[in-house]
Structure 1
Amino acid sequence: MREDAEPGGWAEWGSVPGLVRSAAERYADVEAVVDGRTRISYAELGARVERAAAACMANGVAVGDRVGIWAPNSLDWIVSALGAVSAGAVLVPLNTRFKGAEAADVLRRSGARLLFVTGTFLGTSYVASLRRAAGEGAGPGVLPGLPELEQVVVLSDDAAPADFRTWKEFLASGDGVGEAGAEVRARASAVRPGMPSDIVYTSGTTGRPKGAVITHAQTLRAYEAWCDLAGLRQGDRYLIVNPFFHTFGYKAGVIACLMRGATMIPQPVFNVDTALANIAAERVSVLPGPPTLHQSLLDHPARDAYDLSALRLVVTGAAVVPLRLVERLRGELGVETVLTAYGLSEASGIVTMCRRGDDPSVIASTSGRPIPGTEVRVVDAGGRRPVGPGTPGEVMVRGFNVMRGYYEDEAATAEVLGLDGWLRTGDVGVLDEAGCLRITDRIKDMFIVGGFNAYPAEIEQLLGLHPDVADVAVIGVPDPRLGEVGKAYVVRRPGSVLTGDDLIAWARREMANYKVPRTVEFLGQLPRNASGKVVKGGLRGRLG
């Protein structure tokens, strides 16, 4: 072990419940979470997680059961998620941008038995949205359209519908489980390193969500490496803006803080004024996020009114990072460490990362080198032969971080994961002579909207449900604020007078906001090749 290593370690923790227990003991009096006016220590966090685990057990959650959570970043998210995992459940985080039908689809595919859901968020009732999407059917559960879902717990102080439970009621239901927590700790101890810890659903080119299965050991080993490379340490105060439903928000946020005894400050929605206020008031030292987040902080007209001097660590990625941004973070804000990284859900969220001490040009132009225990190669169009430094090709990954497979989808797993352990990422990249990776394109046409992956095929599938849309293709186009946004090329049905504004308004009701195209262009027909596939290069050529 390195001389500066933290006590414990992924092999010693064994599982996420083991990590939670260790953190509660090792950092007992350290402030663990600051959520509004609520401040709790690691000892208090451990007790709350144990109580949530007891409630899960009292309500029939068994080892290996899937438990969903559809809520924004908050203390209750942390406690309910870690409580479910400590009871042996497999966590299924749901994107808070999902509409009801999208959330119901993931719950149905995963076979979730229990769901934690927020009340109202950003003016939307998630409970009502879910009811509309899954309130009909023949199932025996609380939502007929989701027959395996036995219970829904509303994470708010509001009164829950009669067949749902409030968070307070749910927690109280577990108060009789075990003596002094012995039964809960026994259940947590039964969770083994090789068991699944979570299933993160990520859409592919077919538009059908696929759940990447990641184990406890993979999670712990990957994010211990992240902590080591980033230099996260006890005493750090971490503003977690990246959403918890995303691998990076949950694991490089919550899990990483548990490992090092850092203080978590969850922020449910990114608002630059709120972020600046939090950084100043809470003496925030760590702020990962997409480049757009950091750019907005730097460019805020009232930035100088806030004390940002505690900021020392920024980790970014998910898009091209301008060298000027790295220089400004260091020069104007005095940020000691700025790092970039690359990952995907199918590889535990982390593949490569820059190192402290790397030149700013390396940090801005690459995503760094593979993390320890992993290999990265770039291959030719056939997917078999590695290409040399400087030559673009498909990025492939092999190592401990690669998922076990897509949940209950052997065909989709076989498409991306070979018997030799190499994972096809679908990303185009270039390796330089030093082994640093630069992502240049997406084979599958994915584009990134403000840090969120948007998949054209999924958006096209949803837009195709509009009664006036005969054919549709979506591409990503540059956007000065979000990096990229969607543009839809649409063929109307005969006689239709559908306008672009009409379709965009409809899309906002049917899909997550980041998926909604910002512009629509109508065509008489889409350009297709001999095999009938849309030639998206022809559409991009229309941009001029």
Structure 2
Amino acid sequence: MDSPAVPAPRTPRVHRSEYADVPVVDEPIHEAVLARSTASHPDAVALVDATDAGASATTTYAQLDARHRKLASALVASGLRKGDVLALHSPNSVLYPVVFYGASRAGAAVTTVHPLCTAEEFAKQLADSGARWIVTVSPLLDTARRAAGLAGGIQEIFVCDRADGHRSLVHDLLAGAAPEPARPAPDPVPIDPAEDVAVLPYSSGTTGVPKGVMLTHRSIATNLAQLHPLVPMVPGDRILAVLPFFHIYGMTALMNAPLRAGATVVVLPRFDLDQFLRTIERHRITGLYVAPPIVLALAKHPAVARYDLSSIEYIVSAAAPLDTRLAAACSARLGLPPIRQAYGMTELSPGTHMVPLATENPPPGAVGKLLPSTEMRILRLDDTDRDAEPGEEGEIAIRGPQVMKGYLRRPEATAALIDPAGWVHTGDVGRVDDDGWLYVVDRVKELIKYKGFQVAPADLEALLLTHPAIADAAVIGVHDTDGNEVPKAFVVRGPGADLGVDEVMAYVAGHVAPYKKIRRVEFIDAVPRAASGKILRRELRLREKDQT
């Protein structure tokens, strides 16, 4: 009797970039970013402190290069060794790149720390990363000290400015050093770009315990080369760095990419709307890289009309979903081309998709096209590892040279994210159109399943933001008395708005299918968000749990 025929394995439906592959960049990140810019225009302004009106506000490429080399030598002389982890705990400043590239040149991996974290949160990151060194600023020193005491193992805490009992980068480690020789000295330690970790950011924790993401010199340097064809920064560009450098989006788009291109980075330590707008006007900013909350402010806030923003040539939004109507309103108000979106995740260094600046009329809602040397699959949402049909929604999976080395000391978590064929299962739901544009629908784990129907929180949030009396909103799934998961909206009223629960529910019900209706509403003072702009749904779920 013949044995039953075994079905042939399915060939994966792989989407590939329409752009030519880029060579893998096997250089340490400090060389990949600074070497060519410093050599070609050493006297050009690399960094501007937008909070300082004096002459000390600017740093040239020659000065940045010299300072990071001096700091690397000082760190090595202090006892830092290759493979050590240095925790960088600071808001944005012109010293942030000096510390990052200096530590990198000395052979350390930099774990970037949220400047507003608690001592307990900081201590967990120190202990998990195995950090031995901390660089902070005097206003945050108390938190750093308490974290170091809780974690143990910290050899020294440096401050960027000045504080009793601690060595200062400016006044001690960088002071009085001799000028660099005409030819750069060799690196203090050899670096293997393919294996050595350059930066160790921690995942946001919106869907689980924060984990150290091991990004090598090769992965982050190559990702810069992948991004360049779609968003070609050039000398003379002026980029406003208001999103935090500690987040991989800010580190890539606002620090590494513009400095690699020889552009000028104008640095702000935090987002304050009037200061942000004043800085754009004063420094004639040409490119803005932002998150959706800033797009919302630019589209709706009356203060925008008081400033001259005519120097802006383009806006890129990433890190969280951007509603198409909000994007259009912002572009129309500022008289700009359509806002470009980008897509990625920390574990992907971070970029995989970008709406090219050269595209005149990108389709609304698209987050971009595949970067060079990047592959993608759209997987069915039934856990079969089969590809979705063309145009069908599914989980986005990515493969390319920008994929992380893995989660630090978490092989099981790494294996759960990256399959044996090298595909990163992002947990994001998306679809691809016939022209290769990617549209991100939502997170797999954040989809609300109402009586078998899938409801995307991002869709409801975008709709809520169109209500003139709603300043911000977030949606999660909660359970009703029958055990059904239903959408609940957390709503921030606009200034002076008189808005009730019934009005919110009726507004949504008038615009969506019945199964997508908001079933519960709670008014709150502010939607919890990560520094990148992502909604921290986990905090809302914990809030809901505490109330039940």
Q: TM-score, normalization: structure 1?
A: 0.75
In the other structure, the counterpart of 2:151 is 146
Post-superposition offset of 1:44: 1.0
Post-superposition offset of 1:221: 1.5
In the other structure, the counterpart of 1:80 is 99
Amino acid at match of 1:168: V
Question: Secondary structure of 1:186's partner?
Answer: coil
Is residue 396–residue 423 contact of structure 1 (8 Å, CA) maintained in 2?
yes
Equivalent of 1:90, from 105, 109, 115? 109
In the other structure, the counterpart of 1:16 is 30
1:252-291 equivalence runs, <5 A? 252-291=253-292
Question: Secondary structure of 1:308's partner?
Answer: coil
Post-superposition offset of 1:189: 6.0
Is residue 233–residue 261 contact of structure 2 (8 Å, CA) maintained in 1?
yes
Amino acid at match of 1:350: G
Is residue 28–residue 42 contact of structure 1 (8 Å, CA) maintained in 2?
yes
Post-superposition offset of 1:195: 2.2
Equivalent of 1:155, from 150, 153, 160? 160
- 1:89-120, CA deviations, whole angstroms, 9 ceiling, x for partnerless residues? 11110122321111111111111111111221
In the other structure, the counterpart of 1:407 is 408
Post-superposition offset of 1:504: 10
1:59-458 equivalence runs, <5 A? 59-120=78-139, 126-132=140-146, 134=147, 143-157=148-162, 159-160=163-164, 162=165, 164-172=166-174, 175=177, 180=181, 185-187=186-188, 190=191, 192-204=193-205, 207-336=208-337, 338-358=339-359, 360=361, 362=363, 364-380=364-380, 381-445=382-446
Amino acid at match of 1:29: D
Distance 1:116 1:215, change over 3 A: same
Question: Secondary structure of 1:197's partner?
Answer: strand
Question: Secondary structure of 2:378's partner?
Answer: strand
- 1:269-313, CA deviations, whole angstroms, 9 ceiling, x for partnerless residues? 111101110001001001110122123123332433322111112
Is residue 327–residue 339 contact of structure 2 (8 Å, CA) maintained in 1?
yes
CA distance in 1, matches of 2:189, 2:103: 10
The answer on 1:58 being equivalent to 2:77 is yes
Is residue 204–residue 455 contact of structure 1 (8 Å, CA) maintained in 2?
no
- 1:39-63, CA deviations, whole angstroms, 9 ceiling, x for partnerless residues? 1211111111111111111111122
Post-superposition offset of 1:180: 4.5
- 1:362-421, CA deviations, whole angstroms, 9 ceiling, x for partnerless residues? 2x3121121111111111221510101332221111111111110111111111111210
Q: TM-score, normalization: structure 2?
A: 0.75
CA distance in 2, matches of 1:29, 1:188: 28
Amino acid at match of 1:368: G
Distance 1:228 1:334, change over 3 A: farther
- 1:195-225, CA deviations, whole angstroms, 9 ceiling, x for partnerless residues? 2211111145773221111111211121122
Question: Secondary structure of 1:145's partner?
Answer: helix
Is residue 58–residue 173 contact of structure 1 (8 Å, CA) maintained in 2?
no
Distance 1:522 1:356, change over 3 A: closer
CA distance in 2, matches of 1:419, 1:148: 36
Is residue 248–residue 349 contact of structure 1 (8 Å, CA) maintained in 2?
yes
CA distance in 1, matches of 2:73, 2:340: 39
Amino acid at match of 2:61: Y
Distance 1:116 1:478, change over 3 A: same
Question: Secondary structure of 1:223's partner?
Answer: helix
CA distance in 2, matches of 1:31, 1:399: 34
Is residue 87–residue 184 contact of structure 1 (8 Å, CA) maintained in 2?
no
Question: Secondary structure of 1:210's partner?
Answer: coil
Aligned residue pairs total: 459
Is residue 76–residue 106 contact of structure 2 (8 Å, CA) maintained in 1?
yes
Distance 1:456 1:406, change over 3 A: farther
Question: Secondary structure of 2:286's partner?
Answer: coil
CA distance in 1, matches of 2:547, 2:61: 61
Amino acid at match of 2:169: W
